[in-house]
Structures are given as C-alpha cells and as structure tokens.
Amino acid sequence: GIQVEQSPPDLILQEGANSTLRCNFSDSVNNLQWFHQNPWGQLINLFYIPSGTKQNGRLSATTVATERYSLLYISSSQTTDSGVYFCAVRSGGTSYGKLTFGQGTILTVHP
Amino acid sequence: NAGVMQNPRHLVRRRGQEARLRCSPVKGHSHVYWYRQLPEEGLKFMVYLQKENIIDESGMPKERFSAEFPKEGPSILRIQQVVRGDSAAYFCASSAGTASGNTIYFGEGSWLTVV
C-alpha cells in the first residue's frame, strides 16, 4: 500500500515563529487532507488539498502531486496551534474514505 | 468538524464486556468510515459503510468487531468480549459522496478504555 512519511516528527517553537511541515507519499493520490489533533484529542480538518495551494488565515498548504509531497505552513504560531498534525492520503484503486495517515508531527508552541 | 457526532466520548469497559460506539454522520452524508487510533500512533482505517451495506472492511479485525449503518439511525461499531489491546480512540468520519472533491469529515472520537 501507499506509504506516508511526515517530517519532522517533533517541532518546538516559540510563539510567533513560522514553521513548515512536510508530507511525502509513495504513490499518486487523488485525496490528500491535513488534520490537526489538539491536546484534547479532537481531530480538526484543516485542508482538502490533493493538488495546488490553499490558504486559511495563518495556515496554508501546498501539494505538488507530480513530486509526491505536500507542505503545511504555519505562520505566527500560537500556543493553541500545539498538537499533532497529520497528513492523510488516498491513492487510486482504494475505496473512497480509506485514508492512509502519516505518523504525524508533534508541534509544541511555547509562550 | 462539520457535524459528525460520536457518543459516548469516553467509555470504560471491563475485559470480556461489550462496547458499542455510535456515530451520526453529517446531515445528508450517506458514507461512513471508522478509524482506530492506538496510543502514540496515527489513525488506521477499519471499515467503510454506506446505508445498510458494508463496502470495505479490510481494516477490521476478523473477530469480535462488527459495524453496521442501518437505514434509520446512527452507525454502530460493536466490539464484543473486549481485551486490553482494544483500548484506543475510535473515530468516525463521513462524506457526502465518493467523487473527487468530497472532503471526509471526522468526529471528535470515542475513547475506549478496557480495564
């Protein structure tokens, strides 16, 4: 099956700093989503982005499908950004909704 | 999280008991998915259901686990004779369809602890 690797595994920032999280995948995809799991365990959908670039406030994401990677940018980080960020993909030939998740990037933002 | 409702949020069961987790998808969504997150791990797909049908159960353990999505009412994930290794967060998700562009929305999860 498709492999999803996220980097870095851990990231510690001071409030106000910017960061880039990366997601590499091993096959072509027709669905890619970024999620934030907050410290209470809630899973929040950030972007549906199988290709192209999207922005939502301080967050933006870019997926270069031909090169099999996606980037999540967080600008002016805040303590509420802490948590785990997951990239999840679906490759062709798998049933819809069968997402493969990466292991996540644990982000800690200090005040 | 676009309205996927799960309950209970937290459930404690003794070994050997049954656990039932419920999921109401976003209004109008007919496709439901269940995922499991073991401690310190990412989410793993378990099963995909459409009203009254199991479409893909390739991620479901072969024994003790079952899922349904009846014509009326929520989707249910049932775990019989729970063991300590079943302790995990169980997430339900839904989508409106399966065409490209349909975002999959996740609920807030149900945390099962087996003691």
What DSSP state is assigned to residue A95? P
| B33, B55, B100 ranked by CB distance to A30: nearest | B100
| CA–CA separation, B20 and A92 (whole Å) | 32
**CA–CA min distance B15, chain A (Å):** 24
Q: Report yes or no: B50 at the A interface, CB cutoff 8 Å.
A: no
Phi/psi for A103 (5° steps) reads -80, -10
Q: Report yes or no: A87 at the B interface, CB cutoff 8 Å.
A: no
Predicted local confidence at residue A47, as pLDDT? 94
Q: Which of A5-14, A31-40, B94-103 has the lowest mean pLDDT?
A: B94-103
**CA–CA min distance B35, chain A (Å):** 9
Collect all residues of chain B within an 8 Å Cβ-Cβ radius of residue A31. Answer: 100, 104
| B31, B35, B91 ranked by CB distance to A96: nearest | B31
Predicted local confidence at residue B100, as pLDDT? 64
Q: Tell me the average pLDDT of chain A.
A: 94
- What's the average pLDDT block by block, 10 residues per block, for chain B (115 residues)? 85 98 94 92 92 92 95 95 96 84 86 97
Predicted local confidence at residue B52, as pLDDT? 86
Quote the distance between the C-alpha of residue B102 and its chain's center.
19
Q: Report yes or no: A88 at the B interface, CB cutoff 8 Å.
A: yes
A and B: number of Cβ contacts within 8 A: 68
Task: For residues A23-35, give the mean pLDDT.
Answer: 93
Interface of B with A in 11-30 (CB under 8 A): none
Predicted local confidence at residue A1, as pLDDT? 86
Instruction: Provide the residue type at B94 as one letter.
Output: S
Contacts of B62 (CB under 8 A, 6+ apart): none
Task: Sort residue B16 into left (φ over 0), alpha (ψ -120 to 50) or beta.
Answer: left
Rg over CA atoms, chain A: 13
Predicted local confidence at residue B1, as pLDDT? 45
